[in-house]
Amino acid sequence: MTFREILWQQVQQTLDLLKLYLGLLIPIFGLKCVMDLIATGQLFWWDYGRLLGECIGGFIGLFLLIDVIGAAWRYYRRT
């Protein structure tokens, strides 16, 4: 099995985790929007967008690093 195939398996697993992460994260942001609307009477769209982008970017960056290291380890230990 080549390194590229091993890495692709890792990336597919990460995409499945990202779907789950977004499925849980979006309702939490919706709840935060409702709470802010009730508490302050306004929504902070720019802040929500930036925070959501940082959450997703951090997730992708972290798992990209984990995937590359994990694939390299599996490729090295495949003997």
Q: Where are the domains of the chain?
A: 3-76
Q: pLDDT by residue (tens digit) across 53-76?
A: 999 999 999 999 999 999 999 899
- Note if the pTM is more than 0.75: no
Task: Read off the DSSP letter of residue 9.
Answer: H
- Orientation angle between helical segments 3-40 and 45-76, nearest 10 degrees: 160
pLDDT bin (cut points 50, 70, 90) of residue 78 is: confident
Q: What pLDDT was estimated at residue 79?
A: 57
Amino acid (one-letter) located at 39: A
The rounded distance, in Å, linking the Cα atoms of 73 and 22 is 28
